[in-house]
Amino acid sequence: MTNRDPRDVRSEYESAPSPQEWWRVEVARFLYPDVSFADAYAGSLSYMESVLKDVDTLSKEQFEAGTLIGFELRLESGAEVRKAMFPRLPTPGALLWLCCDLAKPGDIIVVRHYIAHKDMVEMRAPWPFSMDVAVSLVSPDPAALVPPPRRRFGRR
């Protein structure tokens, strides 16, 4: 299947009776290109049921604002970059241990904190570094962990 012109897709979306109706037509066209439109449209209903289950699961699994969702450790040595992703922050001692095993003197250690609803927080330090530097590297900027103010819709 060839990619359709984005202008055509937008035009179809804007002229559809609803976004959900556009979705059914789009899915039917993509999943069932070799059957009649009526059959494809009917087939999209069973796919919609699985999609709605997936959306429900995703909604339950979404991260609250300010939640750490990943920690990346990068070791940069000239043009060479080695990296690993972790689902949580290491302790400062664990970071030092990892660097003892993986880094060479002069490597730049880059840590990235991925925080829900915020930009990534990145910090760097040349290896080897002290325990106090390790503490600062695994402590994301506290401002990055503050959730945005709640807005009340419909009221001023």
Q: Are residues 55 and 76 in the same domain?
A: no
Contact 72, 112 (CB under 8 A): yes
How do residues 27-64 score in pLDDT, each as one tens digit? Answer: 888 888 898 888 888 888 888 888 999 988 888 888 88
Q: Are residues 92 and 140 in the same domain?
A: yes
Pairing of strands 121-126, 68-77: unpaired
Residue 111: give the domain boundaries. 68-145
Q: How much is the average pLDDT of 74-80? A: 91
Whether 18 maps to a domain, the answer reads yes
pLDDT at residue 67 in the model: 80
**Number of domains making up the chain:** 2
Q: How much is the average pLDDT of 62-87? A: 88
Query: Which residue among 44, 61, 78 closes a domain?
Result: 61
Q: Are residues 11 and 72 in the same domain?
A: no
DSSP string across 42-89:
HHHHHHHHHHHHHHHHHHHHPPPTT-EEEEEEEEEETTEEEEEEESSP
Q: Are residues 24 and 57 in the same domain?
A: yes
Higher local confidence (pLDDT), 8 or 150: 8
Contact 100, 92 (CB under 8 A): no
Q: Are residues 77 and 101 in the same domain?
A: yes
DSSP 31: H
Q: Are residues 57 and 72 in the same domain?
A: no
How do residues 87-142 score in pLDDT, each as one tens digit? Answer: 888 899 999 999 998 999 999 999 999 888 877 889 999 999 999 899 999 987 65
